[in-house]
Chains A and B, each alone.
Chain A
Amino acid sequence: MKLDNYMKRKESRQKAVEYNFAFLDESAKKEIRRKILKAVAVPGYQVPFASRELPIAKGWGTGGLQITLSIIGSGDVLKVIDQGCDGSVNAVNIKKFIGRVTGVKTTTVTREATIIQTRHRIPEERMSEDQILVLQVPFPEALRMVEPSELETRRMHGEADYSRMWLYLYEDIVRYSEISIGARYPVTVNGRYIMDPSPIPRWDIPKLNMADTIYIFGAGREKRIYAVPPHTKVEPLEFEDFKFRVEDFTGAACRRCGSADTFLDEIIDEVSGRRIYQCSDTGQCDLSNGKIS
């Protein structure tokens, strides 16, 4: 359904299409925007919100989607990626849906987008203060791996009682001689809350720190919104003698664009059986590859 068709029908008072601009009704959007404001005011703190039903199953990005739908305006330009990829089925479906209920322009080029909704990656290109990154979150509670009870994790956050998280890292180091957490690496936001950055690779963690962009996180199934406002300190948990490290791609480069300074996906070449690499951020890769100018 094109937006102009939708508007026409509305004008002709045909009530066949019952949804509002951006699908959610204004009161739902307002509630979510209020929760986003609270999340921005308390960086890293998980704000509960009343997650709405959407024509997409929970667990498929409905948290991120509700945030996008609540903040999007007709002048926005949207990019949607799934694990860095603009072309994946999930990304395309979400982009189509938002396009249909808003009529906004979409893009695959990071710098052209005003809103980027993403799962599992942050774009390689440094984003500006005019852009918003919306992250889909499956498990918002960073402390869940050490504490199953929600009541207890809330108390731990309330009292900044994080020793068990640190103990977990200590035990990890004793066992594996390094911190074995890959994606969902816990971070301290603004020196206060420990936050789950969503399953982005460690590679993306430094991009959260003192960024120009605002990051808004949405967990639909668990009904939580949290945020990292621009210019906020975000520090991965690390010890003085066991520092946080990003993934190491020494000696590897993208087979398409040749980049050696981006996060690379490892694939096995079907013909040769050899290990090959390619950019996880397809928009960035296309740009460097000259496919888009």
Chain B
Amino acid sequence: MMSLPVMKAEGLTKIYGIGCPVCRESTGPGYETNICRECGAVVACGDISFELYPDEVLGIVGESGSGKSTLVKLLYFDSEATHGAIYINDSADNVLSLSPFQKRRIRNSRMGMVYQNPHYGLRMEVTSGGNISERLIMAGWRNIAAMRARASYLLRKTEIPVLRIDEPPANFSGGEQQRVQISKALSNNPSILFLDEVTTGLDLSVQARVLDLIRALQSNLHLSVIVVSHDLGVIRLLTTRTMVMKYGRVVESGLTDQILEDPQHHYTQLLVSSQL
């Protein structure tokens, strides 16, 4: 029997700009643009629906500007959706209609995010232990020793020497910063983790270590993960299901292996053949 989704999105749309009645119908892969011809608004994401299941790793792949980062920002409440709904677990309430305070509580207790740019996810001048503790503080932790024990555990898990707990991430290498971000994202035992291009910009050997780490964490911690990447290698390695995006729309979705073996959409075929 199929279990219930941990997260469900319906018709998620994000329009940058004032927008007009024809924004959605005049953009997308069919028009080869995400810019509305009438009003010039950018339809960064249009009518995106999907379900994310427990323990599942869902990939989002697509070229630069296709709306991948925008989509995870909507899911993490970093950015406000223009239309659409998000449901968490089996709740019938659209979480997008909750107050900012309630959204933040859901985000802090259920979700973790690793940003493409570590500057978004970390306070570079605050110690790495402090960065991790911030989320614990949000969850009501008020014991320094307990927070430091939890931060040490997470740093060990993400292969950062615990000795560096009181150093700011500003001192760290790119790969180390991503691992501190992962520690921070995992601090509250989230059930959903968003990874936006975690390995972009890292050396190949560092990339491989970070990917191994994510695989190990995912299977140990029973996480549902959304992995954003324009790298089909990363998608193949980490995900079981994939959505392919172009001009703000999902053009194809299904099991990752099938999509990579037998792409249906013309764009996916191009993507697969160009990266083999």
CB within 8 Å of B: which A194-243 residues:
239-242
Quick check: B142 and A174 within 8 Å, CB to CB?
Answer: no
With known contacts A159-B104, A161-B104, A171-B127, A240–B143 Cβ distance under 8 A: yes
Quick check: B101 and A166 within 8 Å, CB to CB?
Answer: no
Q: Give Cα distance in the complex from A8 to B135, angstroms.
A: 67
Q: Give Cα distance in the complex from A241 to B142, angstroms.
A: 8
CB within 8 Å of B: which A153-209 residues:
155, 159-161, 163-164, 166-167, 170-171, 173-174
CB within 8 Å of B: which A221-271 residues:
239-242
Q: Give Cα distance in the complex from A242 to B143, angstroms.
A: 8
Q: Give Cα distance in the complex from A173 to B123, angstroms.
A: 17
Which listed residue (A163, A174, A241, A242) contacts B166, Cβ 8 A? A174
Q: Separation in Å of the A78 CB from the closest CB of chain B? A: 41
Q: Give Cα distance in the complex from A171 to B151, angstroms.
A: 14
Quick check: B127 and A174 within 8 Å, CB to CB?
Answer: yes
Q: Give Cα distance in the complex from A166 to B133, angstroms.
A: 10
Q: Separation in Å of the B75 CB from the closest CB of chain A? A: 20
Quick check: A174 and B137 within 8 Å, CB to CB?
Answer: no
With known contacts A163-B138, A171-B126, A171-B130, A241–B101 Cβ distance under 8 A: no
* B129 CB–A CB distance under 8 Å: yes
Q: Separation in Å of the A152 CB from the closest CB of chain B? A: 12
* B134 CB–A CB distance under 8 Å: yes
Number of A residues, CB within 8 Å of B? 16
Which listed residue (B101, B129, B143) contacts A174, Cβ 8 A? B129
Report A-chain residues with C-beta under 8 Å of the C-beta of B129. 174
- Produce 1/0 per residue, B119-133, CB < 8 A to A: 000010011011001
Quick check: A167 and B134 within 8 Å, CB to CB?
Answer: yes
Q: Separation in Å of the B243 CB from the closest CB of chain A? A: 33
Report B-chain residues with C-beta under 8 Å of the C-beta of A160. 101
With known contacts A159-B100, A159-B101, A171-B130, A242–B137 Cβ distance under 8 A: no
* B204 CB–A CB distance under 8 Å: no
- Produce 1/0 per residue, B155-187, CB < 8 A to A: 000000000001000000000000000000000
Closest to B165 in A: A174
- Secondary structure of the A side of the interface? helix
* B276 CB–A CB distance under 8 Å: no
* B18 CB–A CB distance under 8 Å: no
* B98 CB–A CB distance under 8 Å: no
Which listed residue (B101, B127, B134, B144) contacts A163, Cβ 8 A? B134
* B147 CB–A CB distance under 8 Å: yes
Q: Give Cα distance in the complex from A171 to B168, angstroms.
A: 11
Q: Give Cα distance in the complex from A242 to B142, angstroms.
A: 9
* B92 CB–A CB distance under 8 Å: no
With known contacts A163-B134, A163-B138, A164-B134, A170–B144 Cβ distance under 8 A: yes
- Secondary structure of the B side of the interface? helix
* B145 CB–A CB distance under 8 Å: yes
Quick check: A170 and B101 within 8 Å, CB to CB?
Answer: no
Report A-chain residues with C-beta under 8 Å of the C-beta of B137. 163, 166-167, 170
Q: Give Cα distance in the complex from A161 to B144, angstroms.
A: 19
Report A-chain residues with C-beta under 8 Å of the C-beta of B127. 171, 174
Q: Separation in Å of the B138 CB from the closest CB of chain A? A: 4
- Produce 1/0 per residue, B238-266, CB < 8 A to A: 00000000000000000000000000000
Q: Give Cα distance in the complex from A160 to B137, angstroms.
A: 13
Q: Give Cα distance in the complex from A275 to B73, angstroms.
A: 59
Which listed residue (A170, A240, A241, A242) contacts B130, Cβ 8 A? A170
Q: Give Cα distance in the complex from A105 to B134, angstroms.
A: 52
Quick check: B144 and A173 within 8 Å, CB to CB?
Answer: yes
- Produce 1/0 per residue, A26-40, CB < 8 A to B: 000000000000000
Report B-chain residues with C-beta under 8 Å of the C-beta of A171. 126-127, 130
Q: Separation in Å of the A206 CB from the closest CB of chain B? A: 19
Quick check: B133 and A239 within 8 Å, CB to CB?
Answer: no
- Produce 1/0 per residue, B205-236, CB < 8 A to A: 00000000000000000000000000000000
Quick check: B142 and A239 within 8 Å, CB to CB?
Answer: yes
Closest to A166 in B: B137
With known contacts A159-B100, A167-B133, A167-B137, A242–B126 Cβ distance under 8 A: no
By Cβ-Cβ distance, the 9 closest A-B pairs, closest first, are A240-B143, A159-B101, A163-B138, A166-B137, A163-B137, A167-B134, A239-B144, A171-B130, A241-B145
Could you write out 12 A-B pairs with CB less than 8 Å apart? A159-B101, A161-B104, A167-B134, A170-B137, A170-B144, A170-B147, A171-B127, A174-B127, A174-B129, A239-B142, A241-B144, A241-B145
